Structure 1
Amino acid sequence: MLAGVVAACGTGDPAAGATDVPVDLTTLDVGAYATQPRQVGTVANHDQARFIEAERLGDHVPTPADIDPRFIHTNSSIATVFIDAEASLGKIMAVDRFGEIAPDFIGGFVSSAETAGHNKGIDMVNAVMIFPDEQKAAAAATALERLDFGYAPNNQPIEIPGYPAAKAHWQPDQQSIGSWFATGHLVIYTWFYDYLKIYLEKVDKQALLDLTRKSLDTIVPSVAKFTPTPVDQLMTLQRDRENMLGRTAPRPREDSWINPPGVYAGRTARHFSSDPESTTKMIDDNGVDLFANDGSDVYRARDIAGARAVRDELGGLTRKFTAADPPKNLPSARCKEYIGREKLAVRFYCAVSYDRYAAYVWSNQLLDAQQRISAQYALLVNAR
């Protein structure tokens, strides 16, 4: 479960001190959780390498709000980093023959959001997929569009303004469009689905075209900054970046594995948050330059005060949260209990900071959340 599922805006002010108050680590209840940093080296197998390559791509994929500020409602149940198309695209694109017609697919990164929650607005999905070279990317774009085209008898080809090479189609009786555009080693799949207009039985072709062009206008120059790793060098990729993953608690086996462990540029964390607006402000205000996710979320801020502000933001209270007790002997931690209406939401969350780092953990049991954040705090201290 990514902590961003129910991330909330905090209300506390960052501490003004320049140093952390010492904590006796031997007095903390850490349960069975690790307290020593890991050394995370090169990838162990080809699938792991594909995931890391997709994570590298993610730093260059804009969020939906970067394209259009209306798209701020995210869905954390969709895999953001993927090597199996079914995990991210199975509900919006024909993927039953994906492996057959795109056999050289390496990995992908999905950016998705809605203008209104609970299927009451417009859905936007941009899936950027990596291929070994330009020829294979172009062939995959053509083949994937052709496969998807055949699944609805009333699909019609449509040309995206400014992108004549894009392969796209729509259904004239539905406010929905799909587009596949190859650029370099990449294929950008763009999908819009307007639940409200479909419910009202209204169609606006130009609105679909305008949104698709606007999306491509933003994504194409951004992903052009991504440098693909040559296929024969994928097994040399490093899993960690500046020891961020080493500082991040390992993911317990019982936790969700929607996305693999990863390290990203700070602003890439917005893709994993249910509240990208407040997350963007938190990142920008506090100079967060790196973000890691595994058994916890860890953010690296510009300084100690910035890390404390991130802690207070992550651990802050809103109408969906009530305060929970911090761990014994770690009073600087911020813990809270979710009291909103989302049935699948994790119940307890805790945040802590040390030096430039802020961490966030989650659990359905308060004691477990307290143990996790205590161990994570010790891990940050021991990683100095």
Structure 2
Amino acid sequence: MVRISRVASVAACVLVAGLLSACGGVAGTAVPGELDVRKLEVGTYPVDAHEYDQNSSGKGSLLEGMRMADAVVPSVQIDSSLKFGRGSTVLTDATEALDFLAKVSKPVLDNRKYITGFAASGADKPDPAGETRPPSDATAVTNVLLRFPDEASAKLAARELEDADLSVSPDNRKIPSTKYPDAYVHWRPGVPNVGAFHAHKEFVISLFVQRPRADSTDLLNWVDRTLAAQVPAIDNFRATPVNQFDSLKVDPDGLLARVAVADRKGHTPDDDSFAIYGPNHGIHSADDESVTQKLLQDTGADKVAIVDASSVTRVRDFDAARKLVDGLIDTAGDKFDPITAPTDVPGAKCLQLNSRGDLEKDYKYRCYVPYKRYVGVVTSDKEPDVRQKVAAQYALLANSL
């Protein structure tokens, strides 16, 4: 089982106290009653209204995989105890999908014309420090959604994936589910985990469940409760027809273009560094999924755009934007300390990584910038740079709306 790597669901940035560095001014027109953003010091960051190329350039399956983040139910919705998000990832091809399947499954994916997928994982305990697996006494669910061309292909794939898994060891045994008789479930007696495949519409749900003890009845119960949460999530998801993948737009709402970056050139869809996601994406990687889920629901967050290490999240209104900023700061944990934000950027709030943090995992500075119904988040390891980013993010949002 490969642990899902975390990506920046809501990319963040911090800013230390002091004046903004003196750099170039900002183009644009002041709006009555608002800050004249032309006076902000943004360095060389471009802040004029922008639009990225909307052509998918053959990456329609990746764009659909990003959309599928909202088709995979967060683990906390499976069971309230599974609040520790272990991350999520898009599975754009068979090679990536095999990180979550038996290696002998590749012919199945090839023959049934696997298209794209999305995987998420959660547990009732955090991974031990420095480890990439849950502790042995944890309950953990890895939920993988695999997309195939049609319902018939998905049904065949589910059966054949099960056959491939069973063939890995002669000790594997099937466990029939009375609640989901079409699901394929198997385990190895004496081993406290279970695997399952269940076809629903043009998707195959692939599950891997770990429990503290090896009990087939208990393991099957966890498969059933996961399917009870996951199947309705598929029904509520509007899948893009395969023949329309290449017509998917890269930035349909112009959110990526509102993320402040040093260079706008060379960006193509990438699930880590140039991506649009729905709200579930932020929940999948949260240290406390229940808290993050409530925060996103309460603020009406519906989309997040990620470019490099910065992001813009769209929420219900300006009050919700301020609430989201406060909530993100509250959930940042004890490895960050609050610091003074630039006073000429309205509503900006900032954090700095302290000695409990790890510079290999987080940027030194993190700052949140609300503007109308948007929250920009920028990061940097350098104080002058992050200050310019804060100003640039505010100016770009103002010039884009």
The TM-score bracket by the shorter chain reads 0.7 to 0.9
- 2: distance between equivalents of 1:20 and 1:266? 33
Cα distance change, pair 362–299 in 1 and its aligned pair in 2 (3 A): same
- 2: distance between equivalents of 1:367 and 1:189? 46
The 5 Å alignment of 1:77-156 reads: 79-87=88-96, 90=99, 92-95=100-103, 97-98=105-106, 101-103=109-111, 104-118=113-127, 119-120=134-135, 121-156=138-173
With 266-275 and 53-62 compared, the bigger mean Cα shift is at 266-275
User: Which of 307, 332, 339 does residue 324 from structure 1 map onto?
Assistant: 339
Asked if structure 1 preserves the Cα contact closer than 8 Å seen for 2:12 and 2:366, the reply is no
Deviations 1:303-336 (A, max 9, x none): 2111112122224475321123424732631111
1:72 paired residue number: 83
Indicate yes or no: 2:208 matched with 1:191: yes
Indicate yes or no: 2:40 matched with 1:28: yes
The residue matched to 1:206 in structure 2 has which SS? helix
User: Which of 288, 296, 307 does residue 275 from structure 1 map onto?
Assistant: 288
User: Which of 347, 350, 355 does residue 367 from structure 2 map onto?
Assistant: 350
Deviations 1:277-323 (A, max 9, x none): 22222222222233322332322222211111212222447532112
Could you tell me which amino acid in structure 2 is paired with residue 60 of structure 1?
A: A
1:334 paired residue number: 349
Deviations 1:45-96 (A, max 9, x none): 33x20011122232232111011011111223xx422213554651x42136
Aligned residue-pair number: 362
Cα distance change, pair 315–168 in 1 and its aligned pair in 2 (3 A): same
How far did 1:367 drift?
3.2
How far did 1:264 drift?
3.5
Indicate yes or no: 2:8 matched with 1:2: yes
User: Which of 220, 223, 238 does residue 227 from structure 1 map onto?
Assistant: 238
Could you tell me which amino acid in structure 2 is paired with residue 224 of structure 1?
A: D
Cα distance change, pair 110–25 in 1 and its aligned pair in 2 (3 A): same
Asked if structure 2 preserves the Cα contact closer than 8 Å seen for 1:102 and 1:144, the reply is no
2:398 paired residue number: 381
Asked if structure 2 preserves the Cα contact closer than 8 Å seen for 1:161 and 1:213, the reply is no
- 1: distance between equivalents of 2:181 and 2:303? 37
Deviations 1:117-168 (A, max 9, x none): 1123121111111111011111222222222333334222222332222222
How far did 1:337 drift?
1.4
Indicate yes or no: 2:319 matched with 1:302: no
- 1: distance between equivalents of 2:126 and 2:377? 25
2:22 paired residue number: none
TM-score (norm 1): 0.83
Indicate yes or no: 2:169 matched with 1:158: no
1:284 paired residue number: 297
TM-score (norm 2): 0.80
The unaligned stretches of length 5 or more in structure 2 are 1-6, 14-30, 128-133
Could you tell me which amino acid in structure 2 is paired with residue 243 of structure 1?
A: G
